[in-house]
Amino acid sequence: MKKIIFVLCVLTLSSLAFAEPGIELSESSFNFGKAPQRAAVSHTFWLKSTGTDTLVITKIVPGCGCTKAPLMDSVLAPGDSTSLEIIFETKSFRGYVTKKPYLETNISEDKIYLRIDAELFPKPESILPVGFEPFKLDVSQFTEKPRSKAKFHLVNKSDVDYEITMLDIKNKAFDVKLPKKIKAGETIEGILTVHKDKLETEFQSSFTIQLNDDFQTRISLPIRRILRNIKK
């Protein structure tokens, strides 16, 4: 019996000695496509602990003061996952912009980089071939009566029909209803509905669509919600 206990102890210590943390990203980059200045767009990355030891995210560096990176949980047991939302405030940037926030972990001294890209317009009404109206959507609530919905329009300024794919709607505080096609010269209506469990939450967010043109054009609509005069 003592020999069996000894062998078990050796095996346990051996497995602990070789236990290592690991990480897997849902994706390493996201392209917001075309978006307006002086707004905020966001995308959620998912991180999974894939090793045999606890993953510890020791530091998150957003990349600049225009980027925020709130993390839900910094210590993950093997098999656990957490979300990392990257919020990019477009400010007065214009043209093509790239930001590279990074993580530091207990896996190694190497940094783990993420990447976000956007093409920013000082005059969003000039965005082609289609554009949002308004180009920033506000679902703020200023009275006690809950405000959960807002309408917007997508305008096709070209002579080509397009199919629309929603790229970035998961893990958001809202749902979006929008037709899957838009004809040449057509204006279609969309409806954004805030989730019931987020009605008392302020947020800056966005969603992104992609067209089926040769460039796979992407356009993002920034969403803002602030609360005023709300009884707790």
Domain with residue 204: its CATH number is 2.60.40.10
- Output DSSP code: residue 196: G
Say yes or no to pLDDT of 163 above 70.
Answer: yes
Judge whether 18 lies within some domain.
no
Find the mean pLDDT for residues 190-211.
95
In this prediction, residue 143 carries a pLDDT of: 86
Coil, strand or helix at 19: coil
38 and 129 together in one domain = no
- Domain assignment of residue 210, yes or no: yes
Mean pLDDT of 74-103: 93
Q: What is the mean pLDDT of the chain?
A: 89
Mean of the pLDDT values across residues 193-202? Answer: 94
Pairing of strands 187-194, 181-182: unpaired
Among 121, 141, 156, give the residue marking a domain's end.
121
104 and 136 in a common domain? no
- Asked which of 101, 121, 141 is the last residue of a domain, the reply is 121
Structure tokens at 41: 């767009």
Q: How many domains does the chain have?
A: 2
- Structural domain including 116 reads 23-121
For residue 161, tell me if it sits in a domain. Answer: yes
Burial letters 66-103, b for 16+ CB under 10 A, else e? bbbbeeeeeebeeeeebebbbbbbbeebeeebebbbbb
pLDDT the model gives residue 204: 93
Domain ends where: 95, 121, 147?
A: 121
pLDDT band at 201 (very low <50, low <70, confident <90, very high): very high
What is the average pLDDT across 85-102? 94
- Is 97 a domain residue? yes
| Whether residues 105 and 195 fall in one domain | no
Residues 101 and 159 in one domain: no
Q: Which two tokens stand for residue 125?
A: 């009404």
Average pLDDT over residues 176-182: 97
Q: Is residue 13 part of a domain?
A: no
Question: Do 133 and 187 lie in a common domain?
Answer: yes
- Given a cut of 70, whether residue 13 has pLDDT beyond it is no
Distance CA(230)–CA(141), nearest Å, equals 8
Q: Distance between CA atoms of 10 and 1, rounded to whole angstroms? A: 14
Return the structure tokens found at 61.
């560096």
- Assess whether pLDDT exceeds 70 at residue 4: no
pTM of the full predicted structure?
0.87
Evaluate whether residue 31 is within a structural domain: yes
